[in-house]
Amino acid sequence: MSAVQDAAPPQPSASPPPSPPPSQPLISLRGVTKVYGEGALAFQALKGISLDVQQGDFVAIMGPSGSGKSTAMNILGCLDHPSTGAYLFRGVHVEGLTRDERALLRRRYFGFVFQGFHLLPRTTALENVELPLLYRGEPAAKRHAAAAQALADVGLKGWEHHTSAELSGGQQQRVAIARAIVTAPAVLLADEPTGNLDTHRSHEIMELLWRLNVEHGITVLMVTHEHDMADYARRIVHFVDGQVERDAPNPAPLMLRPGHKSVTAAEALPTQANQPAPAAASEEGT
């Protein structure tokens, strides 16, 4: 029996947030705090951060361990909620949504990539990539076609029926990225996506994220400790002690520097004009 079954849980009914006008950020945090615990045991992970992210941005978030980077990413991805402050996504106050509405927002607009690949070990690459579409209730034929295209987009055409155990670390992370983009998300949240890879494979993954941002129009927010990985971003935000210490554009992203040589010979991704709208805003696309 296939590890991917045809049944899927029902989804809550909600209207998708509208596309933001050009002057409005895709994402906006305003005075966001996060406190864990109570009384003498309380720990404030975020101390009133404010941050805007425009549609199409590629943002690297840096800072020492315990600086609040991952807490902020969890809030951005609707995996957690602020203690105080406002989180707006396309102008909608996320902190005011119900748990089911946040879950729907997360499934429809966000893709996630982590340091660990989190693949099902005895399941094929194709079946791993299909999983988000299974949860949406998509029919099998549509799942198969979309997953195969996502694998081709990350340079794994021909590897669809290999299990995770038969793939290298770099290939497994590519499968994880394909799984994150198979739903055509508006935002890709990547938490230390190269943390388990060697230098060469790390640069391959970063070039892939760059191409997804440029050619598919996916907004990328990435947490990293590595300055050479952050160099791929157009903007670098530094967190210290739960606050934004510095937020500045990267004047020369690595892929745009004269003389930079790509580490991969992968074919260019299809242009955004040939892809579904990244926001997947229509009900028909869900």
Give the residue from 234, 177, 185, 231 showing the smallest Cα distance to 208.
177
Residue 259 has a pLDDT of: 81
- What is the reported pLDDT for 146? 97
Q: Is the pLDDT of residue 270 over 90?
A: no
Instruction: Out of 12-26, 205-219, 262-276, give the one with best mean pLDDT.
Output: 205-219
Residue 36, CA distances (Å) to 6, 59, 71, 238 in order = 39, 26, 11, 22
Q: What is the pLDDT of residues 82-135, one digit of tens each?
A: 999 999 999 999 999 999 999 999 989 999 998 888 899 889 999 999 999 998
pLDDT score for 26: 97
38 or 11: which leads in pLDDT: 38
Would you state the pLDDT for residue 196? 85
Whether pLDDT at 149 is above 50: yes
Classified as helix, coil or strand, 148 is helix
Q: Is the pLDDT of residue 274 over 80?
A: no
* Tokens describing residue 93: 């106050």
| Mean pLDDT, rounded, of the chain | 86
SS3 195: coil
CA dihedral 116→117→122→127, nearest 10 degrees, is 150
Kind of pairing between the strands at 58-62 and 235-240: parallel
CA atoms within 13 A on the CB side of 284: 2
Domains, the chain, ranges and CATH?
Answer: 27-285 (3.40.50.300)
Closest alpha carbon to 128 in 103, 162, 158: 162
pLDDT at 9 over 50: no
66-75 mean pLDDT: 95
- Written as one letter, the residue type at 184 is A
* Backbone φ/ψ region at 23: left (φ over 0), alpha (ψ -120 to 50), beta: alpha
Query: In the predicted model, what is the mean pLDDT of residues 218-244?
Result: 96
Res. 156: pLDDT tops 90: yes
Question: Angle between the 169-181 and 199-216 helix axes, to the nearest 10 degrees?
Answer: 20
Pairing of the two strands 84-89 and 92-93: antiparallel
**Residue 80 has what pLDDT?**
94
- Bridge partners (DSSP) listed for residue 93: 88
Helix, strand, or coil (residue 155)? coil
| pTM flag (> 0.85) | no
Burial track 131-163 (b if 16+ CB lie within 10 A, e otherwise): bbbbebebeeeebbebbbbbbbbbbbeebbeeb
> Whole-angstrom Cα distance, residue 273 to residue 97?
33
pLDDT, average across residues 256-284:
50
Residues 6 or more apart whose Cβ sits within 8 Å of residue 268: 211, 215
State the pLDDT confidence band at 263, using cuts at 50, 70 and 90.
Answer: confident
> What DSSP string runs through 3-66?
SS-S--------PPPPPPPTTS-SEEEEEEEEEES-GGG-EEEEEEEEEEE-TT-EEEEE--TT
